[in-house]
Structure 1
Amino acid sequence: MPQPDVSGVRQTDASLDEDVSAWQVALQQYDRAADKLDLGSAVRDVLRNPKREVTVHFPVQMDDGSTRVFTGFRVWHNVTRGPAKGGIRFHPRTDLAEVRALAMWMTWKCACVKIPYGGAKGGVTCDPKSLSARELERLTRRFTTEIADMIGPDSDIPAPDVNTNAQVMAWMMDTYSMHHGYSVTGVVTGKPVSIGGSEGRQEATGRGVVYTIQEAAKTIDLDLRNARVAVQGFGNVGEGAARFIAELGARVVAVSDSRGGAYNEDGLDLALVARHKQETGSVSGAPRTRPITNAELVEIDCDVLIPAAMEGVITERNARGVRAHIVAEGANGPTTPEADEVLRERGIMVIPDILCNAGGVTVSYFEWVQDREEFFWTIDEINARLRRVMVRAFEDVHRTAVEHDIDMRLAAYMLAVSRVAEATLTRGIYP
């Protein structure tokens, strides 16, 4: 099998510079839009700062009888347009600055696609891969009690994020419900269908990513049939995006996860790769593939690059090596502002995260609505509604970019920030 063309690529995984936090990146992106909009100083300061931040330290009993203390966070960035909405992640590198940035991005994401939520995020600093299922359940339930005064179907609705899933949401919903004495299905989204979850929620983010890629491809006359696609991250978002774009006839040539990647220039057998990951814990080493690092994947020769893992993987150091025509941000904050500038100069279209990966929160909104109505939609209805939301949002952003001769990220931020600013000014300051 031919080796991938990765000449000149660094052999270490791309990651956010240690001296540049996700929060600094989020502020730079916001300030750029605020400058373009010429926001007044008062509303500018309101939108620049998180509304509420909670840090909790809580004990969890381990299987061996010992007790460990974990640190968790929940941040509301802005709730002017509706209840706070944002996922819960379990990751060793999770800290307050990261969660604060992710909460801000959620505010803009919800506004970008016009769903009536504000932005929130939460997380626990831990390595879930080192925990047993029972330990993970105890950690989840205790963390839920620690933030119980913040969350609720009318105030703050968590959802899955990195290293969390429908089962974690089920534990959160059950814990919250036990404290209230009755089932409160709408307190979280992304939960199992059997307890009030929505059809289509698990694959919604990946499906939404592909809907935006389809629209972007039309604007640059890129035929997705047999287009070469590379996907960094093979979790819920990356695996789904890879599968859906392959169904359109694209050729997925590379995928990766935290342990490494797999490459085949003729196209990967995604079912075989998924089975290998299920059996071994990684896509690396899958049959009929060559190994590839995450750094190599970012700079591989392809038409569409989908960073769907963590933030800060496309930086000033590797942006000039990106060879895709479209970068579709399946992850939150995968591109630093310095890298953004390089990609703009090179004419590479970036579908920004607050638009590209908004499919997940959109179907979370659908789930929340269905829970409140106690009336559930079919998968075809959900996918059709999701497509309408994503296509309309892409058209709004692209039209703004063309009208103002700006890049897609700035256009998305201008729309989102202006919508939140308008809501803030309309509501006024209390008292």
Structure 2
Amino acid sequence: MQDHARTGRIIRYVDPVEGFRGFLAISGGDHRLAAGGCRVVPGLNEGTIVALAEAMALKQRLLGLAVDGAKAGIDYDPHAPGKREALRRFLRFLRPHLLERYSAGPDRGTTWEELEALAREEGMVSVKGAVARAQELDEHEFRRRLAVLDVDADGLTVGQRRAGHALAHAAIAACRQQSANRPLVAAIQGFGNLGRGAALALAEAGVTIAAVSDEHASVTSDDGIDVRA
């Protein structure tokens, strides 16, 4: 059965088919919108989701946005054959929150494309539908803005690049603050939703990418890796 019990801003889920657990945490004030990724990770627990939501809230405050932090996810193997249906059931459970306040996005073990496809199967325009409600957008205007995320941006879409691009330039700014004009060299751990966009933005800014790793392998080169290849 589904467990709808709440502790503060924690919404808990128990899958009615396989029994795994899921969570949605919202951190911050009482803004109309809360944003953060939705992940599928084995061993995921409530404490991790809460900490990640708090980190998202901090990011929103640093950016000066009137948006609370959020994070959602299920304790599930993303490589398991039942992953798609498991994630679909979780999104079905989250549907009221996705329509009213929670703007979701890809995270570990999920992609933008699959989240959007599953949302549509559950009768939602998008996993970011709460944005329309918070900003009082009609469906036409919301769809127009949503389409921007699919625009090509030098090999990746805007949606695939935006978070990594911001991360890359935040890292560059921090390094420049500490080491003036020294050449920058970076190593990228993870080459998924965040890592690919960050790697491209770093390379475009002239940073040498000396190493890239993910769950499958790692690649290193003193001369730099062509992450565009």
Equivalent residue for 1:206, pick from 164, 177, 181: 164
More strand by share: 2
Equivalence for 2:22: 72
State the Cα deviation string for residues 82-134 of structure 1 (Å, max 9, x = none): 32211110000211111111111111111110112112111011111122xxx
| Paired residue secondary structure (2:13) | strand
State the Cα deviation string for residues 340-375 of structure 1 (Å, max 9, x = none): xxxxxxxxxxxxxxxxxxxxxxxxxxxxxxxxxxxx
1:95 aligns with 2:42: no
Equivalence for 2:85: 138
Q: Which amino acid aligns with 1:95?
A: N
CA RMSD of aligned residues (A): 2.7
| Paired residue secondary structure (2:96) | coil
Q: Distance in 2 between matches of 1:215 and 1:140?
A: 37
Deviation at 1:170, TM superposition (A): 1.1
Unaligned runs of 5+ in 1: 1-49, 61-67, 273-431
| Paired residue secondary structure (1:258) | coil
Task: Within 5 Å, give how 1:103-114 maps onto structure 2.
Answer: 103-114=53-64
Relative contact order, CA 8 A, sep 6+: which one is greater?
Answer: 1
Equivalent residue for 1:187, pick from 118, 129, 144: 129
Structure whose alpha-carbon radius of gyration is higher: 1
Equivalent residue for 1:220, pick from 159, 173, 178: 178
Whether the 8 Å CA contact 2:108–2:193 is kept in 1: the answer is: no
Q: Which amino acid aligns with 2:19?
A: V
Q: How many residues align structurally?
A: 205
| Paired residue secondary structure (2:97) | coil
Task: Within 5 Å, give how 1:333-412 maps onto structure 2.
Answer: none
Whether the 8 Å CA contact 1:228–1:253 is kept in 2: the answer is: yes
Equivalence for 1:7: none
Q: Which amino acid aligns with 2:224?
A: G
| Paired residue secondary structure (2:199) | helix
Q: Distance in 2 between matches of 1:230 and 1:242?
A: 9
1:155 aligns with 2:93: no
Deviation at 1:221, TM superposition (A): 4.3
Deviation at 1:59, TM superposition (A): 3.7
Q: Distance in 2 between matches of 1:136 and 1:229?
A: 33
Equivalence for 1:373: none
| Paired residue secondary structure (2:15) | strand
1:257 aligns with 2:218: no
Equivalent residue for 1:116, pick from 58, 66, 72: 66
Structure-2 change in CA distance of 1:165 and 1:197 (3 Å): farther
TM-score where L is the length of structure 2: 0.77
Equivalence for 1:269: 226
Deviation at 1:164, TM superposition (A): 1.0
Q: Which amino acid aligns with 2:37?
A: G
Equivalence for 1:315: none
Structure-2 change in CA distance of 1:223 and 1:268 (3 Å): same
Whether the 8 Å CA contact 1:128–1:163 is kept in 2: the answer is: yes
1:173 aligns with 2:123: no
Q: Percent identity?
A: 25
Equivalence for 1:238: 195
Whether the 8 Å CA contact 2:24–2:70 is kept in 1: the answer is: yes
More helix by share: 1
TM-score where L is the length of structure 1: 0.43
Deviation at 1:271, TM superposition (A): 4.0
Unaligned runs of 5+ in 2: 1-6, 132-142, 152-157
Q: Which amino acid aligns with 1:239?
A: R
Deviation at 1:241, TM superposition (A): 1.4
Q: Distance in 2 between matches of 1:211 and 1:195?
A: 24
Deviation at 1:76, TM superposition (A): 1.7
Task: Within 5 Å, give how 1:6-45 maps onto structure 2.
Answer: none
State the Cα deviation string for residues 236-287 of structure 1 (Å, max 9, x = none): 2122212221122221111111234221111123245xxxxxxxxxxxxxxx
Q: Which amino acid aligns with 2:123?
A: S
Whether the 8 Å CA contact 1:77–1:107 is kept in 2: the answer is: yes
State the Cα deviation string for residues 139-180 of structure 1 (Å, max 9, x = none): 22211122223332x4221111111111222134314436xx
Q: Which amino acid aligns with 1:211?
A: H
Equivalence for 1:81: 31
Q: Distance in 2 between matches of 1:171 and 1:59?
A: 22
Whether the 8 Å CA contact 1:141–1:171 is kept in 2: the answer is: no
State the Cα deviation string for residues 306-355 of structure 1 (Å, max 9, x = none): xxxxxxxxxxxxxxxxxxxxxxxxxxxxxxxxxxxxxxxxxxxxxxxxxx
Whether the 8 Å CA contact 2:104–2:128 is kept in 1: the answer is: no
Whether the 8 Å CA contact 2:98–2:128 is kept in 1: the answer is: no
Deviation at 1:197, TM superposition (A): 5.7
